[in-house]
Structure 1
């Protein structure tokens, strides 16, 4: 049997001061998990996000889950910490959250102001990577004190690219977590708007990079800010706020870096019959207990 990839999504949405008991409200059996997954309401076609902020035209081969169902997948089925509902979740058609081949893209929005892109062409991404690797090593000291697995930023899986006409930024990082296993792919998409940034994050095993990259262009083309919220609509004279960081900080961590969230970076896990665990020890212990029983039963 093929071991499922640890599919994760890195989202800086909340700061949580202590490690929660992840397994409390999770399904206790595979049958319970499948029954819950069967209730998810997948959507296709056109979806309006966040009270008219943006519109998503769900691409062929992709399905959309709204914020509530996305929360069910991330927290209840995949055992992640409680968090505010995201704007939504994109998944491949007819795969489902319990399938070993599944991957997902979480959509969130950071209303931190208008991000100026004047520095985009001047950034030395090789130097930026070195600084990010240094920052990651420093952050690991605090992570380990708090019981989190250390992270190694191996390098770019795909170097940052910025489309100045569309104001869309995308890149991919190769991450390694302690405990071995296949390296993890963190694919990032940022769409700049009038008052903030649409954030799309997907993480998969490195072997899934071709699949993620194949889907990235159509996802990029499928979502955009609505009139009045677009980058070109910015008006400082109207009181629009300018973000305190630029393109380089978005790649390095943006809001997460500013808020100091690297020390408690949450790793979102894909649940299935077997798990490749890459995060908090408490999660690993709970998963071994539950799915170890399932494995014995089969």
Structure 2
């Protein structure tokens, strides 16, 4: 498959992105930034199987059917898309198959040890109301920045916490405020708590495919292992940093603020996310075919 054909979806996306009113840069500057970030991401991409080290906190076994874009290239690519540099990002995982349209952002938040006591008695309905209120409060800033306002519709996955492995999974459905779109982009989040913060696997797909792809996240999370001394159970009371919030606030409060960055999935790129995912998956497919030819 020629390189130009593999990149055609990304080139189409580029034209759409640069027509958006959110760019602070000129069209030429934005185009140069996007093309440069895309090329850097492609050049740095690594095929599985391989062992990834995430923020010196954990290791992740990447399977053969996936491609990894390292942290710095992922940060610059996301910055080129939404204008925000997020140093918590630890990379991006994509499928080799260009028939799949999803991507997964890996992150680490060094917030300290998060107490999980409140998970035993939390109320999902109350948490959803808090998430909606927090999102509505954040809409004021979005209006000032010219970013479409968001509305949270409900749970795509009710928050579930597993005390045995200290993992939390949840997903709220959110879209542009007032939109009537039925199939929209969605973030399906799984978090693994550690001694110094939490690692996140954020699956970006759409409402039509999220249930089918949930096992992808589960399979990757099963291959995630914290380094000795970094595990949740390694916490030292009295000396280690403790987060200012618990799990319920992480879902309902912190998440509302972070919807600004992950507007990639529900606001600024709502119209273009499908093209982005297809284009990046095509990149993974191209690399996979190159590997087969070399094999």
Give the length in aligned residue pairs.
Answer: 249
Residue in 1 that maps onto 2:267: 278
Confirm or deny that 1:83 pairs with 2:88: no
User: Which has the higher mean CA deviation after the structures are superposed, 111-120 or 67-76?
Assistant: 67-76
Closer, same or farther: CA 73–245 of 1 in aligned 2, 3 Å: same
Contact 1:113–1:241 at 8 Å: present in 2 too? Answer: yes
Summarize the Cα distance change of 1:143–1:56 in structure 2 as closer, same or farther, 3 Å threshold: same
Per-residue Cα deviation, 1:18-73 (whole angstroms, up to 9, x for no partner): 9733852435999x9986664242232211222x3110101342221111232354
Task: Show the 5 A alignment for 1:1-298.
Answer: 20-21=24-25, 24-26=29-31, 38-44=42-48, 45-50=50-55, 52-76=56-80, 79-85=81-87, 86-95=89-98, 101-178=100-177, 179-181=179-181, 182-237=183-238, 239-254=239-254, 264-268=260-264, 278-279=267-268
* C-alpha spacing 1:122/1:227, structure 2 compared with 1 (3 Å): same
TM-score normalized by structure 1? Answer: 0.72
Greater Cα offset, 64-73 or 186-195: 64-73
Once superposed, what is the RMSD of the aligned Cα atoms?
A: 3.3
**Normalising by the residue count of structure 2, what TM-score does the alignment of the two structures yield?**
0.73
CA contact (8 A) 2:156 2:173 kept: yes
SS in 2 for 1:229: coil
Q: Output one character per residue of 1:218-256: Cα deviation in whole Å (capped at 9) or x when no partner.
A: 02112121110000100024x1011111110111143x6
Q: Deviations over 1:119-139 (max 9, x none)?
A: 111001112112222332233
Query: How far 1:88 moved relative to its partner?
Result: 1.0
Q: Secondary structure at the residue paired with 1:75?
A: helix
Q: 1:28 to 1:230 in 2, by over 3 A?
A: closer
Q: Which one has a larger percent helix, Structure 1 or Structure 2?
A: 2
In 2, Cα distance between equivalents of 1:82 and 1:139: 16
Query: In the aligned structure 2, how far is the partner of 1:81 from the partner of 1:89?
Result: 17
Aligned equivalents of 1:81, 1:180: Cα separation in 2: 27
Per-residue CA deviations over 1:124-174 (Å, capped at 9, x if unaligned) read 111211222233223323422332211110100111111101000001111
With over 3 angstroms needed to count, the CA separation of the structure-2 counterparts of 1:265 and 1:22, relative to structure 1, is farther
For the residue of structure 2 that corresponds to 1:207, the secondary structure is coil
C-alpha distance 90-190 of structure 1, shift in aligned 2 (>3 A): same
CA contact (8 A) 1:62 1:90 kept: yes
Instruction: Write the deviation string for residues 249-297 of structure 1: whole angstroms up to 9, x where unpaired.
Output: 111143x66xx566x545226xxxxxxx93189x99xx9xxxxxxxxxx
